[in-house]
Amino acid sequence: MPETILVVDDDPDIARFVEVNLRSAGYEVAVAGDGEEAIRKALELRPDLVLLDVMMPKVDGFEVAQRLRRNPRTGNTSIIMVTAKALSTDKVLGLTAGADDYIIKPFDPIELLARVKGTLRRAREMRNLSPLTGLPGNIRIQEEIERCVREGKAFAVLYADLDHFKAYNDQRGFVRGDRLIQMTAGVIQDAVLELAGAEGFVGHVGGDDFVAVVPPEVAEDVAKRICERFDREVRDFYDPEDLERGYVLVEDRRGVLQEVPLVAISIGVATTARRAFAHYGEAVAVATEMKQFAKRETGSSYAVDRRAAD
């Protein structure tokens, strides 16, 4: 489905020029001739982006941007301010009013399209980020693995999740549970950055599930480092008596005390060192299967698929 752009300009010739260029690039385009009409149409259409002229009668672009940002229906809409002035004060005013970018008249159609594409791309990426960890979500995870498959790259997928997390979350509460998830994200990111550098990728599937994509030659070292660091840092989430016992006493629904092990991390590793993957789902399925093997071990552990393809 094409993305929708609302063009706001009181000069009909400029508005038409912009509309034609955006439509030729494949966008759906609506036009408004003043600030009040822009706000009405934005609330009605909920466009992906508003291309907003600063100097307009009735309501100027700065106020339009502020009102769009304050309204829940348009609060996340991307905004590019269009100004005839190159003054830094105008740029600052536009950005503080809530604009994502600005462009100065007269502008080249190529620059306009580049700004539009860049702003929409960043908005898509932000929508795909986990609000809890700031890591890319499912769409970006799938895109990254599919890219590796398509380009014929050697890669390994690490699928990690936490053991006994639900019991911890139920007993200690969501705030501490969220902090534990954030700690896990940091441990995985640090390990991937240190051992894979710019070639590494980390995504947050949701809940306590994470995926990392790294070169095959460092995959096992990454998994090992994650387990070691997680076991060190998770100690901060328990009382000394829990650590000494090695488990937490939790009442079940019948009021009977149960011994629940400390939270641990399990990681399954699928790698092209042993087999080729034809698509995203195949790599994730193997990593998930190996994660189940890792869960059979006590405490944090990982399992690497070492089977050759048939």
Q: Flag whether pLDDT at 90 surpasses 60.
A: no
For 144-161, the pLDDT digits (tens) are 999 999 999 999 999 999
- How far, in Å, CA of 49 to CA of 80, rounded? 8
- pTM beyond 0.85: the answer is no
Q: Which two tokens stand for residue 127?
A: 């929508």
- Nearest one of 309, 231, 234, 241 to 277, comparing CA atoms: 309
Chain centre distance of CA 164:
25
CA dist list (Å): 35 to 26, 52, 57, 71, 273: 25, 9, 7, 15, 59
- How far, in Å, CA of 7 to CA of 27, rounded? 11
For 100-130, the pLDDT digits (tens) are 888 888 888 999 999 999 999 888 877 788 8
Q: How confident is the model at residue 230 (pLDDT cuts 50, 70, 90)?
A: very high
Q: What is the mean pLDDT of residues 37-64?
A: 90
Q: What is the mean pLDDT of residues 39-63?
A: 90
For 170-187, the pLDDT digits (tens) are 888 899 999 999 999 999
Q: What is the mean pLDDT of residues 10-31?
A: 94
Q: How confident is the model at residue 54 (pLDDT cuts 50, 70, 90)?
A: confident
For 63-77, the pLDDT digits (tens) are 899 899 888 788 889
Q: Flag whether pLDDT at 92 surpasses 70.
A: no
Q: How confident is the model at residue 309 (pLDDT cuts 50, 70, 90)?
A: low
The residue whose two tokens read 């009181």 is 10
Beta bridge partners of 260: 248
- How far, in Å, CA of 270 to CA of 192, rounded? 16
pLDDT of residue 55: 84
Q: Flag whether pLDDT at 95 surpasses 80.
A: no
pLDDT of residue 236: 96
Beta bridge partners of 265: 162
pLDDT of residue 19: 95
Q: Flag whether pLDDT at 7 surpasses 90.
A: yes
- How far, in Å, CA of 286 to CA of 282, rounded? 6
- How far, in Å, CA of 274 to CA of 307, rounded? 6
